[in-house]
Amino acid sequence: MQRYWAGTLNEIDKLLAKKKYYVFLAIEIAICILMLILDKLFARASDGFITFGAADLSLMMLTFFIHVYIPLIIFMASCDAFSSEYNDGTVKAILIRPVTRLKVYLSKITSVMLLALGYLAALFLTTVTLELLFGEGLRSFWVSVGAYILDIVPLFVLLLMAVLMNQLAKSSSLTMFLLILVYVLLTVLGIFIPQLSGLLFTGYAQWHNLWLGQTIPFWPMIAKIGLLAGYATIFMSGGYYLFERREF
């Protein structure tokens, strides 16, 4: 385990050595502030008639960030952790150390997931702070907490898919392009063919909607959990198989 954690720490260090992740974090916070300002301006101009729903800013922003922004961060970070290192040969710096490929693979996944969680935590803290300072207080604090925690599940499945794709494409830019393309296609497919939505893992991005604010039908929920677990297993085992067989 010591070497798994050493690897995870190293991967986090490498990701945080890249300035773009700080810039994207600043943009994330700026979007939240901008949204609040726009909401206030529109509400004032229309005597409260037009509002973006910023009273529940944390939940409103979660919808946008969980569908668009954080998936992009996950795609970018997975490319940095895998395909970029294949391209420039730096992955060899790890593979010649006394650590198994399974631990290398898991430590890279863990680090990207922790980065995504960092973005999610920053989003939560920013929106909750803004709600406290400029909103109507924390009306749905615990619902927000639950939603943020629950939405980690589909993000993890998405990350495993991104890591699998990284084992297939040859360059990091091509991988990034393919990831965006596949993600958009699956999302659009889920919108235009509602019957498919329940079968695609991208249809569960707002996982919290299935759990919060309603009585949970037991068997359908078990089926949905099983579906996501199935996707996660396929992505994880397929990705690891390709990583293990890869030659450098």
Interacting residues with other proteins (CB under 8 A) = 2-3, 6-7, 9-10, 13-14, 17-18, 88-93, 95-101, 245, 247-248
Tell me how crowded residue 46 is: count the other CB atoms within 10 A of its CB.
10
Alpha helices by DSSP H, the chain: 2-16, 20-45, 57-64, 70-81, 83-88, 91-95, 101-134, 141-150, 152-168, 172-192, 194-197, 208-211, 218-245
Q: Which is nearer to other proteins, 15 or 179 (CB)?
A: 15
Beta carbon of residue 10, minimum distance to other proteins (angstroms, whole number): 5
Beta carbon of residue 80, minimum distance to other proteins (angstroms, whole number): 10
Beta carbon of residue 164, minimum distance to other proteins (angstroms, whole number): 20
Burial zone of 206 (CB within 10 Å; 0-12 exposed, 13-18 middle, 19+ buried) = middle
Q: Which is nearer to other proteins, 49 or 248 (CB)?
A: 248
Q: Which is nearer to other proteins, 85 or 131 (CB)?
A: 85
Q: Which is nearer to other proteins, 46 or 100 (CB)?
A: 100
Beta carbon of residue 26, minimum distance to other proteins (angstroms, whole number): 19
217 DSSP assignment: P
What does the block give as tokens for 12? 């986090």
Beta carbon of residue 114, minimum distance to other proteins (angstroms, whole number): 16
Q: Can you tell me the distance from the alpha carbon of 65 to that of 86, in angstroms, rounded to the nearest whole number?
A: 29
Quick check: 239 and 162 in contact, CB under 8 A? no
Beta carbon of residue 248, minimum distance to other proteins (angstroms, whole number): 5
R_g over Cα of the chain:
20
Q: Which is nearer to other proteins, 27 or 95 (CB)?
A: 95
Q: Which is nearer to other proteins, 83 or 144 (CB)?
A: 83
